[in-house]
Amino acid sequence: MSRASRLLDLLQAFRRHKRPVSGARLADELGVSLRTIYRDIEALKAQGAAIDGEAGVGFVLKPGFMLPPLMFSEEEIEALVLGSRWVAERADGPLGAAAQNALAKIAAVLPRDLRAGIDETALLVPPRGPYSEGEANLPLIREAIRGNRKLQIGYADVNGAPSERVIWPIALAFFERTRVIVAWCELRGDFRHFRADRIVRFEVAERYPERRAALMKRWQARDDIHRPPPALA
C-alpha cells in the first residue's frame, strides 16, 4: 500500500470515530504497526490536519480537513458516478442538478487518470417516467424537512378518499416508483408514511416543536421501519 493510500485510510478511520480513538485501535483497524500510526498522524498534522490527542490517551480529527489531492479507488469512482446518475434521473430536478454539480467538482480536483474513469464508467441508470403533480413539490418538501417546518396537506388515500392533515416531515424516501414522506401526523398522533404523488395540496407552516433528530430516533426505534411501507398514512 502506498503512503498516500495509507494516509487516506487513516483519515477515513478518524471520520468513522466521533470520539477520541487510541492509536492501538487505529493500527488494528488498518493492519499496520502502532509506530506507523504515530508517524502517519504526524504526517497528517504537517499537512494541516487538526488532530488532537496524544499517545496513550487517544486521538480525534476535527472536521473540515481534506487531504489533497482528492483520491479515490476505481470502485469508489464508479460508486460516485452511479449514485450521481441515479439521483439525476430519479430525484427531483434541483437535487439531480446538485448531484451533477457535485460530481463535476470532484472531477475537477482528481488526477487526470482518475478523472477519465468518471467519463468512461459503464454503469448506467435508466430514465424514469414523468413526475406527478405531487412529486413536483419535492424541492419544497425537502426544504421543509431541513427547516423543521410543518406541512398542511390535502391527501388522498389509495381509494381516493381525501383528508386534511398537519404533518411534521422528518425524512424523504426514494423508492423505485414512489417517493414517500416520513412524518409525525397530528391527526393520528403517530408516525405515518405519505406518498408524494397523493398529496393534492400542501402549504408550509410554522416550525414543529420537537427536534427532527429526536423524532428520527423515535421513528427508527419502531419495529416496522425496515419493512416496505404498506399502510401509507
Which triple of cell numbers denotes residue 186? Answer: 397530528
Q: What is the CATH number of domain 3-61?
A: 1.10.10.10
Specify the pLDDT at position 231. 45
Query: What is the tens place of the pLDDT at every residue in 40-66?
Result: 999 888 878 888 888 778 999 887 666
Q: Report the alpha-carbon distance of residue 88 to residue 10 in Å, rounded.
A: 32
Q: Report the alpha-carbon distance of residue 58 to residue 41 in Å, rounded.
A: 12
The CATH 1.10.10.10 portion of the chain extends over 3-61
**Range of weakest confidence among 42-51, 178-187, 206-215:** 42-51
Query: What is the tens place of the pLDDT at every residue in 91-147?
Result: 888 998 999 898 888 887 776 767 777 878 888 888 877 666 666 789 999 999 999
Query: What is the tens place of the pLDDT at every residue in 154-173?
Result: 999 888 899 999 999 999 99
The CATH 2.30.30.520 portion of the chain extends over 135-220
What dihedral angle (degrees, nearest 10) is formed by the CA atoms of 200, 147, 175, 89?
Answer: 90
Specify the pLDDT at position 194. 95
Which triple of cell numbers denotes residue 232? Answer: 401509507
Q: For domain 135-220, which CATH number applies: 3.40.1010.10, 3.40.50.300, 3.40.50.970, 2.30.30.520?
A: 2.30.30.520
Specify the pLDDT at position 226. 53
